[in-house]
Amino acid sequence: MTDKTEVFPPYRCAAAFADGSRLTFDGLTRDQARSTMEAAMEQHGDIGWWDWVTDENYRKGEYHKLIPPPTHLPFPVFDLTDCSTEEERQKALQDPFEEDGEP
């Protein structure tokens, strides 16, 4: 058993600096992460490249568990585009578990 705790801040960006260092910067807000990155220019020189982190834990700089899941419809969606007659439409709208047993 390992006692390894990982902490993932809400926002993370990465930057490459003039001195050749490549670093990541975290924050509780996007502005905080970006400000920390910009403050590092005093020690590392100008920023040559930066972007929001995308990896197994982050999507465009935002921790993946902060992103709400896609909505789920509370009801089934029926596609009636292949039905050419009103009878076919009504049949397609029937509950598939009704007595006739046909979907």
Flag whether pLDDT at 102 surpasses 60.
no
Assess contact for 68 and 74: CB atoms under 8 A: no
- Quote the DSSP letter at residue 51: E
pLDDT for 2-48, tens place per residue? Answer: 678 888 999 999 999 999 999 999 999 999 999 999 999 999 999 99
Domain boundaries, the chain: 11-66
* Position 96 confidence tier, pLDDT thresholds 50, 70, 90: low
Average pLDDT over residues 44-67: 92
